[in-house]
Homo-oligomer: A and B are copies of this chain.
């Protein structure tokens, strides 16, 4: 190998060292972790205190605390502590709890604003994930965001695609949550 070819090789390596550094800056577009979970919400209606997992705690002037308000429930604030399961069966052993609140926030359709945490405590996962975002309930699948985590999910971020998997009147609903984490530490 002569000096000239060495210079060419050095130049190529020089380019490579930059492009590999650039890789360091680029983010990952395939999830680094993914899981599907379900959670189940039973809203307190004045008669189901034993089974209820959530309750209306704020309402607009025209509402009350046992019946979701007129105008697409606009202004109702609900606090919840819902069981999380690995499948869509309400009676499956929970792997954690979904805890936080949702707020109905539109007057002319069903839309909610979500702020809540998955507290996971199973053999597979120990830690929490925090969710935030707008939920246009009538759309089949909608994306909210995973803004942070602790434990196994330390500093993680990503997207959760949610789907209303079932609902019964205004008392029970079940959400399917497809969690895709794109920043893992």
- Chain A residues proximal to chain B, CB less than 8 Å: 1, 3, 6-7, 9-10, 13-14, 16-18, 20-25, 27, 29, 44, 46, 55-61, 63, 65-66, 74-77, 79-81, 97, 99-101, 103-107, 111, 113, 115-117, 119, 128, 130, 132-134, 136, 143-151, 154-155, 157-159, 182-183, 185
Q: Do B29 and A21 have beta carbons less than 8 Å apart?
A: no
Q: Do A55 and B79 have beta carbons less than 8 Å apart?
A: no
Give the distance in Å from the alpha carbon of A38 to the alpha carbon of B91 in the complex.
Answer: 42
Q: Do B130 and A133 have beta carbons less than 8 Å apart?
A: yes
Give the distance in Å from the alpha carbon of A179 to the alpha carbon of B9 in the complex.
Answer: 44
Q: Do B81 and A100 have beta carbons less than 8 Å apart?
A: no
Min C-beta distance of A144 to chain B, whole Å = 7
**Which partner residue on chain B sits nearest A76 by CB separation?**
B57
CB-contact partner of A7 in B1, B21, B27, B147, under 8 A: B1
- Which residues from chain B contact A111 at a C-beta distance below 8 Å? 81, 99
Q: Do A24 and B27 have beta carbons less than 8 Å apart?
A: no
Contacts A57-B59, A58-B79, A143-B150 aside, 18 further interface pairs with beta carbons under 8 A come to A13-B13, A14-B16, A18-B20, A20-B21, A21-B21, A22-B24, A24-B25, A55-B60, A57-B76, A79-B105, A79-B113, A81-B106, A97-B106, A99-B106, A113-B116, A128-B145, A130-B132, A145-B147
- Which residues from chain B contact A151 at a C-beta distance below 8 Å? 143
Min C-beta distance of A38 to chain B, whole Å = 19
Q: Do B55 and A57 have beta carbons less than 8 Å apart?
A: no
- Which residues from chain B contact A22 at a C-beta distance below 8 Å? 20-21, 24
